[in-house]
Structure formats: structure tokens, C-alpha cells
Chains A and B, each alone.
Chain A
Amino acid sequence: MTASQTSAAAKGFKLGSTLYSFTNEWHERRYGFEDLIAEVARRNLGPGLEIIGFSSIRGFPNVSDDFAARFKDLMAKYQLTPSCLSINADMAIRRGTMMSVDEAVAYHAPQIEAAAKMGFPVVRCQFAAPVEVIIRLLPLLEKHGIKIGPEVHAPLNPSSPPVMAWREAYAKANSPLLGFVPDFGCCAHTLPATYIANLRRQELPEDLIQLALEVWQLPRDAGWKRQEFARRVEPLNADPADVSALAVMFNILSPGTADMWKEIMPQVVHVHGKFYDFDEQGNEASIDYGSILPVFHDGGFTGFMSSEWEGHLYMRGVDAFDMVAQHQALARRIIAKHTGAAG
């Protein structure tokens, strides 16, 4: 986006969906790729549309000319806008070894080419690859005018050591294409009550649940929490499948505040509006959108926030499209109240 386009854009960010929200519909083979896109449009859950390449596209990162053309036709037909392509840093694709920087550059490049071919202006990458990989890809990003950012996802926050390493490298590279993708799962004040209730419904042992919840509260990264949890459950001779099921909580939500995003606000290229469940007032049950969204509005973010429902992890028989609609209604309500008060 050029400077003139930026200044011409209306203040405020735009809404959209990521197809990740519809994981159950997709996983259960109830919808095809085009069906999902059509339903997003029919329910007015755009205009932004984000997809995960390795989730939605068979053969990714190879994208045929026909597939790319068809995708662009669908975007035009349904008046949707490609917002972000989520790509992956599969550094440990060979178990027990990590890709070299050269290999990682070669692994990322076709994924960025796929984004360009399909018309995505932003790519979400991952911290698993060192920032050097992304700096090396800058000429390719510049060729296509594509912005990139790793997802600042639970349990990270903008000041976590891995994020600081990227911020320092970005300061040296000094390119407007280099940014971050905040995920609001790291602004949680609690785990959703329905999530914990589901753990109990699955008949996971109560002593393991309690240990996991204790470790969740600790202000440490997910790898540390997984290890600490494993250490604490070791004397209990726990089933590894139970341990894995519980350790998921360390990677999906972590405690954080709205204000922490101000540090990287000018570098935000896309947002994942993570959510799980709503309370009786229609507020997100574990993430305080009322304090978060005004920070992004006032901070001048004008890109897309993808509504990213992850309740599909444990909820069944719930209409994900309806959950996204509720999330977008919540966002509109908060921004209307905020701007009304400000204006």
C-alpha cells in the first residue's frame, strides 16, 4: 500500500473472516473450499478473507494458474477481499533436525509466490523460522509488494525475547513491508469456562486438570509450560494422550493486556481476532475486546481483523458462521461506542 492510499483510507480497521474459523465444517468434509467462501459471503462475514495455505489448498504451496484465476473470480463474484495468506515455517519437517536458513528461505519462497498469485497483500509467517529467513526474502516481498509478519500468538507478547529479536532485526532492515500479526489469544484474562468444562466432560483426570490450570497461570512461554507440566505430572504416571490434550491450553491462550500492543502498533500488518465463546451480554468470555479494539482504532491500524473462532477445538454442533457473526457484531458495537464517545 502506498503512502497516499494509506492517508486516503478511512480511519479504522476492517473486518473479515479466516477460514480457520470453519475448521469443523471443513474437517468434517461438509463444505468444499468454494462452498465455504460462498457461505462467508452469504452471511456477510467479509469483506476480508484470510486462508491458511496448508489447510485450504490441496498441493500447497503449488497453486495452479487455473486455481488462482478461479480464486480471483470468486473474490470478485462475492465482493470479498483477500486479506492475508497464512503460511508455515515447517523448520522441523525432518524429525530431529532443523532446516538451515537456506532451506527455510527455499521453503518460504513458493508460499510467498502463492500469495502473490492469488492476490493476497499480506502474509502471516511464524517465529519458528529465524528472522534472518524473512530478511533474506525481502527482495521477493518487494517484487510483489507483499507485507509479512509473524503471528504474535499465545504465549508470546510484543516484549517476549523472540519478538524482541525480530523487532531489532526489523529496525536494521527498515522496510515498511516487515511487520507483525497480533493474535488476541495472548490477551486472555482466563480460560473459557466452557473449555474447562469440556476437559471435565472428556473425563480427563481432575488432578491433571488442576496441575495444568496452575501451570497456565505462570508467566512463562509455552515450551517451558509444557515441560513444567510434564515434570509435575511425571510422578502421576499420566497417559501421554491426556498430557497432550491438556498441554494444548498453553498454546491457545495466555494472559496479557490491551496496552501491550502499542509498542508495535505501527508495524501491525494484520490482526487475528481470536475468540472462543461469549457471555450473556455478547462479550467474549475470556478476551476483553472492549479494551483491545479501541487501542487498535486509536493506534491507526487500518488493515483487516480476521474473526478467528477457535471454539471449534472443543465445541460441536455450533454454527461457526453464527459465532463469527456475533464476533463481528461485538466489534462493531465496541467501535461505535468508542467513536461515539470520542466524537
Chain B
Amino acid sequence: MARFFKNAFSDYLITPEDSRITPESLLLDLRLPWYRSLPLSVVMPTQLVLDGEPLSLDGATVSYEGREYTLAELPEQVGTSWFIQDSVVLKVPTPKPLAAGKHHVLLTLNLYPPYIPMLTHVTRGDAQVQAA
């Protein structure tokens, strides 16, 4: 699981320098792993591993263009396109504050490209993120 797989369109799924850790949550800056803007309705974070241990995505949200969506709300967002040159921020609550220093984050993200019906494209990326 620790193996870092570069997704096809970007070396980064998580941009380390733009991600951070607060006492309450991980704030991960995500780059779209596709070559065209996609509606948020076809984007879904599915799995997160923090320092080798699974971290639940319960309560996680995705923020884009000043709005914050729960993961359950994402499939409804057919009118909001994630533009290629923008990041979205995935916020994942942590049960307790993380120790200062770097933490390893491994994220799996599913895309369902809407012009290729039936395709589920699974990508994964990792980053070392600094906790203050």
C-alpha cells in the first residue's frame, strides 16, 4: 500500500506544500487527476490512510469555490465543474490532534468520467504533510 503510484495526468494528487494539518483535521489540497474539468458529481474520495492506519472519511468535506460539500452531497453537484488549474480542499476530521511533525497521507480517489459510462477510474496519491 505504501507504493506511490503517479496518476496519469499529474505527479500530485495531494499537493504537499499546500496541504496542512490543524488540531481538528487534515486539510488536503487535491489536484484533479484528469485532463479536463469534471463535475464534482463524478468525483469521490474513497479511502484514506494516515501513517499506515486507515482514517475514516466520516464527516469529511470537499471545498471548492467557497462552498463546502459533504461527500454524500458530491453526486448531486452536476453543475459545478472542478477546473483543471484549481485545487479542491478535502477536509478530514482527526479523532485527536496529531503530533507535531510530518505525517504520511495516502488517498484513494475515484473518478467516474461522465462521457465514458461504466468506467470507474481509481487513482491514488500520497504526501508528507506537516502538522504544526
- A residues contacting B by CB (< 8 A) are 20, 23, 26-29, 52, 54-55, 58-60, 88-95, 98, 126, 128, 202-203, 223, 226, 240-245, 248, 251, 312-314, 316
Given contacts A23-B9, A26-B84, A91-B114, contact A240 B122 (CB under 8 A): yes
- Give bound CA distance, A119 to B38, whole Å: 24
Q: Count contacts between A and B, CB distance < 8 Å.
A: 92
Interface residues on B, range: 35 or more
- Give bound CA distance, A241 to B120, whole Å: 10
**Do residues A203 and B8 form an inter-chain contact, with CB atoms below 8 A?**
no
Q: Which residue of A lies closest to B1 (CB)?
A: A239
Given contacts A27-B84, A92-B117, A226-B119, contact A245 B8 (CB under 8 A): yes
- Give bound CA distance, A259 to B84, whole Å: 37
- B residues contacting A by CB (< 8 A) are 3, 5-11, 31, 35-39, 41-42, 75, 78, 81, 83-85, 108, 112, 114-124
Which residues of chain A are near B36, meaning CB under 8 Å?
52, 54-55, 88
**Do residues B42 and A203 form an inter-chain contact, with CB atoms below 8 A?**
no
Report the minimum CB–CB distance from B89 to chain A (whole Å): 16
Interface SS majority for chain B: loop
Q: Which residue of A lies closest to B124 (CB)?
A: A241
**Do residues A29 and B85 form an inter-chain contact, with CB atoms below 8 A?**
yes
- Give bound CA distance, A52 to B9, whole Å: 15
**Do residues B115 and A91 form an inter-chain contact, with CB atoms below 8 A?**
yes
Which residues of chain A are near B10, meaning CB under 8 Å?
27-28
Besides the known contacts A54-B81, A92-B112, A93-B41, 19 further A-B residue pairs in the complex with CB atoms under 8 A apart: A23-B9, A26-B84, A27-B35, A27-B84, A55-B35, A58-B37, A60-B37, A91-B114, A92-B42, A92-B115, A92-B118, A93-B78, A95-B42, A95-B75, A98-B117, A244-B120, A245-B7, A245-B8, A314-B8
